[in-house]
Amino acid sequence: MPMIGRISGRAVLLLVLMLAGCSIGDVRRKPPTPSSRAAVTTPSPSAAVAEVRRVRVAVPQRYDPPYVEFVDAEHGYALFANCGEPPPGDDCPARLFATDDGGRSWRELRHPHPAAENHQLYAAPGVLTLRSEPHGWWISTDGGTSFTHRLDGPPPQWVGAQSRFQLIEGSGQVGEWDGQRLRPLAAQPRVPGLSTVDTGDGLLVVAAGSEDGKPYAAVSFDRGRSWQQTPVPAPDGHVGVLRAVVERDGTAWLVGQRPDRRSFPALWRLRRGWNLVGADGHPPQIQSVAPIGGGLFAVTGPAGAGAVGGGRYTELPWPIGPDRSLSVLTDGTLVAVGGDGGILLGVGWVAERRWTKIILDTS
């Protein structure tokens, strides 16, 4: 089947919903103000990006572009931590900023250990984690107002913020977070090459893995107390890493990454067993895949963005270039990073998204 041509406007949502077999019922720089408010531009209605929020922050221009991570559509953090070579030190202290209004304004936070050989930032709902190698980890549960220090290993608060059920590093067992640590479940799924576990509403837990290029999975409907081995139909070709993805509404997927990591993946959806998801007309190479609700998966790659549903691939008029990777935040917002810089946030439902580009400029 030939690839469907590009479409725009509200027709995107209607067409993609039909492909999925569901109904609507289902499913350049301006001077900054003293408060570092965004210089907002609104492109013409035909532009794919609805709004550009460009903010200049009080950071010297010798710094490289920041690492930006959003928790949801409104809350995010930006870390300026590099000034080129050599590695950062006392002459290039890390600078940390936060936004509570979707990137319209940014306020600087005190970085707890700004001089380090390597800086990292991780954000999750209610938890901000910083790593300053080789000095350890710092964690904040009050939006960066205060931090506590941990020398070895990721802080427990960060581990707990990932998911109720996780793989325990080292043992490869499925563990449940008890508020202090991951405790191995009494019942463990018998999944060869177990690589991921994910959960949606707390009732459904999916564990997946692969061995010799073949996919395997198990499902629990009682919070990990027991497991059902669930046959996974063989895809065309082999899969490398198999990833379990459970959406907030409980829709469960398996994503089978190909051994070369770029070829179009194998996809399964759990509906009275695992069902292979067809995608006629899909691009041969991809950058990322992410569930977007309504029984659909979004795909990004050299061909831009598209949706998989109803056995076919449909191009979408999203401002996603070939080098951007797409992921889903906890509130369902889509975030696209990479490419030509800045960060894109897509707020909306299924394929109908309002895209905002956020850019931080140094002074």
Q: Note the pLDDT tens digit of each residue in 295-323.
A: 999 999 988 999 999 999 999 999 998 88
pLDDT-derived band at 39, boundaries 50, 70, 90: low
What per-residue confidence (pLDDT) applies to 122?
96
Q: Name the phi and psi angles at 53, rounded to 5.
A: -105, 105
pLDDT exceeds cutoff 50 at 1: no
Please count the other Cβ atoms lying within 10 Å of the Cβ belonging to residue 115. Answer: 15
Contacts of 85 (CB under 8 A, 6+ apart): none
Q: Which residues of 55-76 are buried (b: 16+ CB within 10 A; e: fewer)?
A: bbbebeeebeebebbbbbbbbb
**pLDDT tens digits, residue range 200-213?**
776 789 999 999 99
- Single out the residue of 322, 363, 326, 362 nearest to residue 343, CA to CA: 326
Chain Cα centroid distance, residue 305: 15
Q: Which pLDDT score is estimated for 89?
A: 63
Question: In the numeric block, which tokens belong to residue 329?
Answer: 């935040």
Task: Classify 12 as helix, strand or coil.
Answer: helix
pLDDT at 311: 93
Residue 38: pLDDT band by 50, 70, 90 thresholds? low
The β-bridge relationship of strands 107-109 and 148-150 is unpaired
User: Tokens 């951007």 appear where?
Assistant: 324
Span 101-132, pLDDT tens digits? 999 999 999 999 999 989 999 999 999 999 99
The model's confidence at residue 86, banded by pLDDT at 50, 70 and 90, is low
Q: What is the pTM of this model?
A: 0.85
Those residues with Cβ within 8 angstroms of residue 34's Cβ, 6 or more apart along the chain or in another chain:
none
- Pull the structure tokens for residue 21: 């077999």
